[in-house]
Structure 1
Amino acid sequence: MVTRLSTKFMNICISSMCKSKQLLKAEVVLIDAIKLGVLPDTVTYNTLVDAYCRFVSIDAGYTVLNRMKEAGINPNVVSYNSLMSGAVRKCLLSKSLQLFDEMLQSGIHPDVWSYNILIHCLFRLGRPDEGYRVFKDIVERAEMYPTMATYNVMINGLCKHGYVHNALMLFRNLQRHGFVPYVLTYNAMINGLCKARRLADARRVLREFCDYGYEPNAITYTTVMKCCFRCGRLEQGLEILSEMRRKGYTFDGFAYCTVVAALVKTGRIEEVDEIAGKMTSNGLVPDLASYNTMINLFCRQGKFDEALKLVDEIEKQGLKCDQYTHTIIIHGLCKIGNFVGAEKHLDYMKSLGFGFNLVAFNCMLDCLGKAGHIDQAVKVFDSMEVKDSFTYTILVHNLCRAKKFLFASKLLVACLKSGFQILRATQRAVINGLCTAGFVNEARKVKSKIRTARLMR
């Protein structure tokens, strides 16, 4: 005899299989249950829809929806919510909107979660006004109330689209109506304020966060700390760092990079060593990203000896420099005019097994041109195994600076024929240079070839 309990037990088994990504076994359980006379219900199929959307594809989830209809079971709002959520996770935002329309056409009434997904979708599609209208529709409906998830989606979406003031107003309105924001809400609000460089508001919200009895996590503190450094409030940023350490938060590599970058930029090198010492004593070893950040900042400030010391330290820590590390060093050598050293380092990279470093060659090409070594830059250009749009743009731009407009025009035309694009500002520089130098006919020819290349694209 088929009982409700047996269907419930089958659903539990299928749900367990789906959570462990064993979809084939879940299907076997369903087939065996039907053979034994246990019939699936809406919950059964909704579980499968959600699992297929998460672990396979939206199309696979939609196939289960069709099976559901064939079994005489009508899909409900949960079925479509699962499909819409899956579409958003796979970045198929337009598909999610289509599913919402299909749900309405099927006579299924959306719930608040349906609208949450729709709002999130509209924000991600760059349609914040429509997202706000949907939110307003929820608020004005008597039979439906926005949840904290709705407010989180709205605040996050408004902040990401630059409407930080509107997000803050919504946040304050939320508090006035007696809603206690969740940790996610505070983090979204603080992150938005920090990106807008509204440091005072961000710190105020952070204090409120603590007053409500919540414990800000390391991400919250790091976000505010980074904002302090960006706004030039180094001491305030270091105060937040101290607070993090007092509360026993793990100081991760991202936070480490943030502090070190701020200290190096302001020339407080001694404190970098002090911070590094404290982190090491806490069992945290800087990762390669942290070292690359410091090397880059030292090179930008012309402190090349300090940068090379860090390279030695990387090797002592048992880490291996990556292609980005070597590119930073090559660019640093080029900036101080040591082109011979840069070439040697490129050869050294090849001996380590790295492939052709296009970014490093582009850096060298740019620095040679800016230093006035245009002939040497042309030689480097000719020797390059691979070239991209940046390569051509850099050399054409520097040829214009060297008043070699005819050469620049020939290179520009060759670039367009190869299917690459050169910045329009550089194209104008070539044409204007030709006209100024008296090569008016050549300028006309180049204009014609540029128009032809645009039409071909």
Structure 2
Amino acid sequence: MNICIASMCKSNQIVKAESILIDGIKLGLLPDVVTYNTLIDGYSRFVSIDRAYDILNRMKEAGINPNVVSYNSLMSGSVRKSSLSKSLQLFDEMTQLGISPDVWSYNKLMHCLFKLGKPDDANRVFKDIVENGEMDCCMSTYNIMINGLCKNGYVSNALMLFRNLQRNGFVPQVLTYNAMINGLCKARRLVMKCCFRCGKLEQGLDLLSEMRSKGYTFDGFAYSIVVAALVKTGRIEEAGEIAEKMMSNGLVPDLASYNTMINLLCRKERVDEALKLVNEIDRQGLCDQYTHTIIIHSLCKDGNFVDAKKHLDYMNTLGFGFNLVAFNCYLDCLGKAGLIDQALKVFDTMEVKDSFTCTILVHNLCRAKKFIFASKLLVFYIKSGFQILMATQRAVIDGLSTASYNNEARKVKSKIWKARLKH
């Protein structure tokens, strides 16, 4: 009976699970704590925490006491439903009932505390477990601690814990290494040969080398973090070396890493190198619209609008369809370069327009001191339901006032207000 109920619960057929329970009772098969715990897990996964909690009352009516598994299932469900405070309440209720938490109860408690931004409380729970010595921490406990400390900005504490655990025989998993690498990168303690902004060297590299020396697979996620970190500090050559090593191990850098490298090459005015890299990854079928948009934006910033337009047309031949982000970028650069008439022509030919498109045009018309035209377009697009940035609206009204079009400025304010009320 329990196996059948568990199967129904796992396949989100709670009604059938309840029917099996009823049939079992009719046949003289009385449910036990496992039966009810299975239902608690099913209800918490697929229905609601409140319905799962109601099972506790049914257990009491049947003369069966809830156990630690009952409350662990409820706590897990609360975490899945993002009811973190509810999970903490369940933990307190469990201890008040005299049910001793196990290591998984504490794991869930620490996870909730970290998610709620209470790393000190989570660390206190961890110390209590270790110092009491009543139960052995599992690998998940250490991973939760290291990951939680990193995500809450306590990377130094995570690294100290990592080293202390190693000295006591803890063997890290790939997940543990990834958590540390990610934490180091986010804290600007970047890995490999680059100097950390905080002046500390090689901490990330130590972890990576240690990972390799122990025979762990250095997966694509970790490689991509390292490549992105190196690129952001301008270490293109080192990033290239890591990418080559990654590919020699049968892995391919993700598109985000490539896009970061292309973006930095463009910022350093090495557009030719960026284009070569685009062509290389294009042959691998990795390019997306954002990749090409980076190139278009770089060409526009250099004032090379002819090649930028050619690249826009080239994108259409690749089957990407209309790239609104790239066109918005092209339109904005034309306006900022003072080529407002050309920008208007591009605007008229665009197949798709969004609020950013309209905001860009209106703002650049203000740059060109075409305030009357800008005000007419502003009112038209607000009436049409587009969300024009408040800064752009102020630029139009202030521009009209500065140009002594005070009556027009008042009219525009009134029309904008009426359009807001309508929408």
What are the superposed Cα offsets for residues 348-370 of structure 1, whole Å, 9 maximum, x if unpaired? 11112221111211222233333
1:202 is matched with which residue?
158
Distance 1:225 1:66, change over 3 A: same
CA contact (8 A) 2:44 2:52 kept: no
CA contact (8 A) 2:59 2:66 kept: no
Kindly state the Cα deviation for residue 68 of structure 1 after the two structures are TM-superposed: 3.8
Q: Report SS of the residue matched to 1:422.
A: coil
CA contact (8 A) 2:53 2:74 kept: no
Q: 1:364 aligns with which of 330, 334, 342?
A: 330
Distance 1:167 1:445, change over 3 A: farther
Return 5+ residue gaps in structure 1 as ranges: 1-40, 54-59, 88-94
Q: 2:50 aligns with which of 98, 115, 120?
A: 98
Kindly state the Cα deviation for residue 205 of structure 1 after the two structures are TM-superposed: 2.0
> Is 1:377–2:343 an aligned residue pair?
yes
Distance 1:395 1:44, change over 3 A: same
1:227 is matched with which residue?
183
> Is 1:328–2:291 an aligned residue pair?
no
Q: 2:14 aligns with which of 54, 57, 61?
A: 61
What are the superposed Cα offsets for residues 144-189 of structure 1, whole Å, 9 maximum, x if unpaired? 1223222222222332332223322222222222243322222222
Tell me the amino acid that sits aligned with residue 309 of structure 2. E
CA contact (8 A) 2:5 2:20 kept: no
Tell me the amino acid that sits aligned with residue 300 of structure 2. C
Larger deviation, residues 124-133 vs 261-270: 124-133
CA contact (8 A) 1:370 1:398 kept: yes
> Is 1:217–2:173 an aligned residue pair?
yes
Alpha-carbon separation, structure 1, partners of 2:230 and 2:210? 18
Alpha-carbon separation, structure 1, partners of 2:304 and 2:70? 61
Alpha-carbon separation, structure 1, partners of 2:110 and 2:336? 46
Kindly state the Cα deviation for residue 375 of structure 1 after the two structures are TM-superposed: 3.2
Tell me the amino acid that sits aligned with residue 49 of structure 1. M
Kindly state the Cα deviation for residue 119 of structure 1 after the two structures are TM-superposed: 3.6
User: TM-score if structure 2 supplies the norm length?
Assistant: 0.82
Kindly state the Cα deviation for residue 105 of structure 1 after the two structures are TM-superposed: 5.4
1:149 is matched with which residue?
104
Kindly state the Cα deviation for residue 99 of structure 1 after the two structures are TM-superposed: 1.2
Larger deviation, residues 253-262 vs 338-347: 253-262
What are the superposed Cα offsets for residues 336-389 of structure 1, whole Å, 9 maximum, x if unpaired? 332221211111111122211112112222333333433333322222111122
CA contact (8 A) 1:434 1:440 kept: yes
Tell me the amino acid that sits aligned with residue 109 of structure 2. M
Distance 1:298 1:377, change over 3 A: same
2:364 is matched with which residue?
398
Distance 1:71 1:131, change over 3 A: closer
Tell me the amino acid that sits aligned with residue 180 of structure 1. D
> Is 1:257–2:209 an aligned residue pair?
no
Alpha-carbon separation, structure 2, partners of 1:441 and 1:107? 75
User: TM-score if structure 1 supplies the norm length?
Assistant: 0.77
Identity score, percent: 54
Tell me the amino acid that sits aligned with residue 112 of structure 2. G
> Is 1:46–2:5 an aligned residue pair?
yes
CA contact (8 A) 1:118 1:131 kept: yes
Alpha-carbon separation, structure 2, partners of 1:438 and 1:121? 63
CA contact (8 A) 1:65 1:79 kept: no
Show the 5 A alignment for 1:231-380: 231-234=187-190, 235-315=202-282, 318-380=284-346
CA contact (8 A) 2:262 2:274 kept: yes
Kindly state the Cα deviation for residue 263 of structure 1 after the two structures are TM-superposed: 1.9
Alpha-carbon separation, structure 1, partners of 2:8 and 2:364? 58
Larger deviation, residues 182-191 vs 422-431: 422-431
CA contact (8 A) 1:81 1:113 kept: no
Tell me the amino acid that sits aligned with residue 91 of structure 2. F
2:353 is matched with which residue?
387
CA contact (8 A) 1:77 1:111 kept: no
Distance 1:320 1:265, change over 3 A: closer
Alpha-carbon separation, structure 2, partners of 1:272 and 1:397? 39
Q: Report SS of the residue matched to 1:251.
A: coil
Return 5+ residue gaps in structure 2 as ranges: 191-201
What are the superposed Cα offsets for residues 211-258 of structure 1, whole Å, 9 maximum, x if unpaired? 343322233223322332333333322222222222222222222222
Distance 1:253 1:336, change over 3 A: farther
Alpha-carbon separation, structure 2, partners of 1:134 and 1:194? 26
Alpha-carbon separation, structure 2, partners of 1:298 and 1:218? 32
Report the number of matched residues. 401
> Is 1:161–2:110 an aligned residue pair?
no
Tell me the amino acid that sits aligned with residue 150 of structure 2. C
2:198 is matched with which residue?
none
Distance 1:228 1:105, change over 3 A: closer
Alpha-carbon separation, structure 2, partners of 1:188 and 1:138? 22
CA contact (8 A) 2:41 2:52 kept: no
Q: Report SS of the residue matched to 2:117.
A: coil
Distance 1:86 1:241, change over 3 A: same
What are the superposed Cα offsets for residues 26-74 of structure 1, whole Å, 9 maximum, x if unpaired? xxxxxxxxxxxxxxx3x15412322321xxxxxx323442464366468
Alpha-carbon separation, structure 2, partners of 1:443 and 1:119? 58
Alpha-carbon separation, structure 1, partners of 2:78 and 2:155? 28
1:80 is matched with which residue?
39
Distance 1:230 1:79, change over 3 A: closer
Q: Report SS of the residue matched to 1:201.
A: helix
Alpha-carbon separation, structure 1, partners of 2:23 and 2:279? 68
Alpha-carbon separation, structure 1, partners of 2:312 and 2:129? 58
Tell me the amino acid that sits aligned with residue 379 of structure 2. V
Distance 1:283 1:104, change over 3 A: closer
